[in-house]
Amino acid sequence: MSIASPIAALYERGNIVKVCGLREPEHAVAAAEAGADILGFIFAPARRQVTAEVAQACIMAARQAKPDVLACGVFVNAAAMEIAVVVRGAGLDMVQLSGSEPPEFMSALPVAATRAIHPKPGVSVDEIVLEIGKHQRAGAPPAAFLLDAFSPKGAGGTGEKVDWGLAAAVNARVPVMLAGGLSPNNVAEAIQIVRPVGVDVSSGVEIDGRKSGEQIHAFVAAAQAAFARQPVTATR
């Protein structure tokens, strides 16, 4: 079985919902109970950063509610050995690379990886697709791609929104997941416009900087309802 099989299977199915930036077991459980497919944990220096031990506790609690929920660790320019240690310690199924890691870096990872793309202002659809293509041609290509907002504040979780028109144009050529500024109030519209294979939320389900179980449930429900109206798969 390929190490990419868990996320690859989800990617082929489409309609993926990921809740990222989790730090407390109760919110991981809320995400699992709501029906999220992937739980995201930040291991890069940031406000939502957690240790492997905290992530493991969250994952174990969440799998009491949904045994097949996947756990993803988010890294920014970390060494492959560092990632491997965290993967083992936390029990991660996959990782997300959100830095400037080169395409060949994927082959050094012990689990499947998704590649986050943060388009800078003025970047064209062709340039984004070209960047994705470089990763697709690598020896161990990413299992999926995530289109997130560019922000000088950091790589993800900033609340900044991707240009949905740009995202839709990219997604028409290369299936992607969508992140950046999503919330229970706008995720249905984002899915309708972009038609991504999945959506990823972090700050959009927080109140005063802390995850909200109610907001998590609302987001997952809104996303699932929108996907049900127009199901999308990576193979279209």
Q: Would you name the residues annotated as active-site residues? A: 20, 148
Q: Tokens 């489409």: give the residue.
A: 14
pLDDT tens digits, residue range 108-137?
Answer: 999 999 999 999 889 999 999 999 999 988
Q: Tokens 């929104």: give the residue.
A: 161
Domain parsing of the chain, residue ranges:
19-228
Specify the length of the chain in residues. 236
Per CATH, which fold does 19-228 belong to? TIM Barrel (3.20.20)
Residues 110 and 4: their CA atoms lie apart, in Å, by 10
Residue 2's pLDDT band, with cuts at 50, 70 and 90, is very low
Q: Check whether 76 has a pLDDT greater than 70.
A: yes
Residue type, 118: H
pLDDT tens digits, residue range 135-190?
Answer: 988 877 788 899 998 765 655 556 688 999 999 999 999 999 999 999 999 999 99
For residue 1, the model assigns a pLDDT of: 36
